[in-house]
Amino acid sequence: MLVAKNLSKSYKEVKALNNVSLAVQEGELYGLLGPNGAGKTTMISILSSLLKPDCGEILYRGKSLYQNLTESKKMIGVVPQEIALYEDLTAFENLKFWGTLYGIKGKQLQLKIEELLSFLGLSDRKNHKIKNYSGGMKRRINIAAALLHDPKIVFMDEPTVGIDPQSRNLIFEVIQELHSRGLTMIYTTHYMEEAERLCDRIGIIDEGKIIAEGSFEELKKSSNIKEEIHVKFTNTLKTDLSNIDNHFNGQLLIHENQMVLSTSQANADLPILIQMCTNANLHLENLQVRSLSLESIFLELTGKSLRD
Amino acid sequence: MFTIAFKGIRQYFKDRTAVLLSLLLPIVLITLFALMYGGIGKKEKSRPISLLFTDQDNTELSKEVFKTLNDQDGMQLFPKSYEEASDLIKKGKNTAVLVLYKGFQDSVEAGNKAPMELFYDEAKEIEMGLLQQALWSNLFGITMKKGIKGKVNTWIREKNPNLADAELLNIQAQVEEQFTDFDNSEDSKKMEEKSNLPMTAIVSEEKNGNLGLVQAIAGTAIMMLLFSVSGSGASLLKEKEDGTFRRLLVSPITPSSILYGKMLSTLFMAVLQLTVMFLYSWLALGLDIFINLPALLLMILSAAIACTSFGIFMASVCKSRKQVESLSTLVILVISALGGSMMPLIFMPEIMHKLAIVSVNYWAIEGFFDIFWRQLPLSEIYPKMLVLLGIGTVLTSISVISFKRNLLKLV
């Protein structure tokens, strides 16, 4: 469906994308996972024709994106990170406007809007102004605006930013439904659980490069880490824990009163970790050994947390 | 392009408060300016010019001067001592004081320079101009007649040194009689008529309506329109900030369509605003808008195009909405002051008349003056419309280049 070869893009001194190549199959849901500033939005902007790469090639179904840009644009749907809607217009008016830009008119447009609103559970709110919608509802209309013209591929740039867990689950369901209907999607996020839950394949991007790619199972197999030890303490971790981190070669994530150690030998590392925490006057509240997550894989690959 | 234009118009009408303000505020300002320029209601008789008068001579002639000046239409004299008068002028309560010094009558009768002086406040230049004009004819009329009589008597005495006093008094009485007879004679009236410069107004309020009203409407409407269109232009940058601009750019329309669509909706709002202004002026202020309707409609369209281009130009050269708002306010105030929106150009020095031609306001105001005040035919007005369209074309061309350079790059 989509093949991108050797894409590079720089903003003055900053290299946002560095010789990135990517191939997405028809009907695939591809996750682009990386921290803020890794190059995800630049990648999506280039693939959706919003930005021109400094070099590289983009092919949709074998044809260059720029060969017939207008026709290429009709194949593409973009769900931007921002709520790209007109707040003072109703959901129906917004969708009508965006649909008209793609040449859909009259009854056909009306039916498409009704269908999408019903699919997203917002039929009864179609005549309400967007400014009166909740964050989650706005996000759903934001998705609907990208689907009006039946695109062949949809780019979703962090579509769940800033919404509550319930709305997030609703959006996940929508994405899964679209996926089951065979829509090709590229999904960017810095939430590893989203990528784990939704994506067929994941590309881990950092500092403008895709540093690992594959299904979650493939990524797990290629990793040296097998498990994670999650420890919760009764007190906040204020003391200097660099000696523990050094002992485990930087595979320790610390956040408020929690600690996650990514390890290939949980049985051996667990007693050492407990002993070192006791020595540091940290009082354990809870301890779990879990299977490997993307967060740990990312930490192993880049030496930093996804939320850095 | 039309889809974007219709969306813009729909958004405009959705915000009822903004619609009301965009129409109501100019109406309030037009009414206010029309009141200031005396453009509403029956033309009142203008307020008389007040002049303080210090009589240090206290003679028949000085009293005659007071009476003659005070009897003039449009002038009112107030006798004051010099100290009181200068104090009132310093406090800004009066404009000037005319002082007749001791020996005024004697000097005048002897045909010498009259000892009198006018003290004034330099800040009140306009009032002083009117005052000088009124004083010139009256004051010098009295003193010169007396001076000539004095000169004649002196000449008789010098040429006839042996003349008896009784004879001399007789001759002087005859001279006096001749002057008085001449003053009252038909010949005097005929001479006065001959010497008077006949004046006929070609363009006057009686024939051409209310000058103040035309100034108030044309000046205010254009200035307020510039503020409205700059707000509309700023909405282009709001689209960028909100992310809708990115979505527009990934849709299958060209970037130029976005700009032209925005221009079209702004133009619609501009034409609507000007039309409402003139309808209000007709219904509430009595401006005859049907005097040359085709010219008015074309002038509204030309002014709206020029102003719309200005709004889009500001949006395309600025990098944020805040920049547009502050820079537009500054530029609009400057070009409105230059172009005569705030104050009629006749009150401004020559250099301002030359600078005014760079202002959209100037050409639009002059165009509306051509229609309503000078009542020129369309064939005489169209060059001003062409200038406005020229301004619109130049600003739009720069906007297209800047739009591609600034807005598209900032995505």
Q: Per-residue confidence of chain B (411 residues) as pLDDT tens digits?
A: 778 887 778 777 777 777 777 778 878 877 877 777 665 555 555 567 789 999 999 998 899 889 888 888 778 899 999 999 999 988 888 889 999 999 988 888 887 888 899 998 887 777 787 788 778 767 777 777 777 777 777 788 788 777 777 887 787 778 777 766 666 667 656 655 655 556 665 655 555 567 778 888 888 889 988 988 888 878 888 888 888 988 999 999 888 888 889 889 999 999 999 999 899 988 888 888 888 899 999 999 999 999 999 998 988 888 788 888 889 889 999 888 888 888 777 777 778 778 888 889 999 998 998 888 888 888 888 999 999 999 999 999 998 888 877 766 654
CA-angle at B12, arms to B10 and B15, nearest 5°? 110
CB contact under 8 A, B252 and A102: yes
In whole angstroms, what is the distance from residue B109 CA to residue B112 CA? 7
Mode of pairing for the β-strands spanning A209-214 and A201-206: antiparallel
Residue ranges, comma separated, of all CATH 3.40.50.300 domains in chain A are: 2-220
Closest listed residue to residue A40, CA positions, set A62, A9, A86, A67? A9
Q: Helices B255-283 and B293-317, interaxial angle, to 10°?
A: 140
Asked if the ipTM is above 0.90, the reply is no
Regarding whether B368 and B230 lie in a shared domain, the answer is yes
Considering only CB atoms, which chain B residues are within 8 Å of A89? 7, 10-11, 14
Q: What tokens does A177 get? A: 């439904």
**Strand arrangement of the beta sheet that strand B96-100 belongs to:** B75-79, B49-55, B96-100, B116-120
Q: What tokens does A122 get? A: 């917002």
Regarding whether B390 and B338 lie in a shared domain, the answer is yes
Q: Final residue of a domain: which of B159, B186, B218?
A: B159
Regarding whether B227 and B136 lie in a shared domain, the answer is no
Residue ranges, comma separated, of all CATH 3.30.70 domains in chain A are: 225-291
Long-range contacts of B286-292 (CB under 8 A, 24+ apart): B286/B210, B286/B213, B287/B209, B287/B210, B287/B213, B287/B214, B287/B217, B287/B372, B288/B209, B288/B372, B291/B209, B291/B371, B291/B372, B291/B375, B292/B371, B292/B375, B292/B377, B292/B378
Nearest to A74 among B7, B247, B252 (CB): B252
**For residue B385, is it within any domain?**
yes
CB contact under 8 A, B250 and A84: no
**For residue B194, is it within any domain?**
no
Find the domain containing B135 and state its range. Answer: 49-159
In whole angstroms, what is the distance from residue B102 CA to residue B113 CA? 13
A162 touches chain B (CB under 8 A): no
Mean pLDDT by 10 residues, chain A (308 residues): 89 87 92 85 89 90 85 91 91 93 92 92 89 90 93 91 85 91 90 85 89 85 80 78 79 81 83 86 85 77 65
Amino acid at B312: I
Radius of gyration of chain A (CA): 22
Residues 6+ apart with CB under 8 A from A172: A160, A194, A197, A198
Regarding whether B268 and B319 lie in a shared domain, the answer is yes
**For residue B35, is it within any domain?**
yes
* Optimal mutation site among A44, A47, A74, A88, interface B, most CBs of chain B within 10 A: A88
Regarding whether B286 and B215 lie in a shared domain, the answer is yes
CB atoms under 10 Å from CB of A225, counted, come to 19
Q: Final residue of a domain: which of B159, B193, B224?
A: B159
Number of structural domains chain B divides into = 2
pLDDT digits over A195-247, tens only? 888 899 999 888 888 888 888 888 878 877 778 888 888 877 766 778 888 88
Regarding whether B141 and B57 lie in a shared domain, the answer is yes
**Which listed CATH number (1.20.58, 3.40.50, 3.30.70, 1.10.1060) goes with A225-291?**
3.30.70
**Is-contact B121 B95, C-beta < 8 A?**
yes
Residues 6+ apart with CB under 8 A from B236: B245, B259, B262, B312, B315, B316, B407
What CATH number does the domain containing B101 carry? 3.40.1710.10
Regarding whether B278 and B365 lie in a shared domain, the answer is yes
- Topology, domain A2-220: Rossmann fold (3.40.50)
3-state secondary structure of A33: strand
**For residue B241, is it within any domain?**
yes
Regarding whether B272 and B140 lie in a shared domain, the answer is no
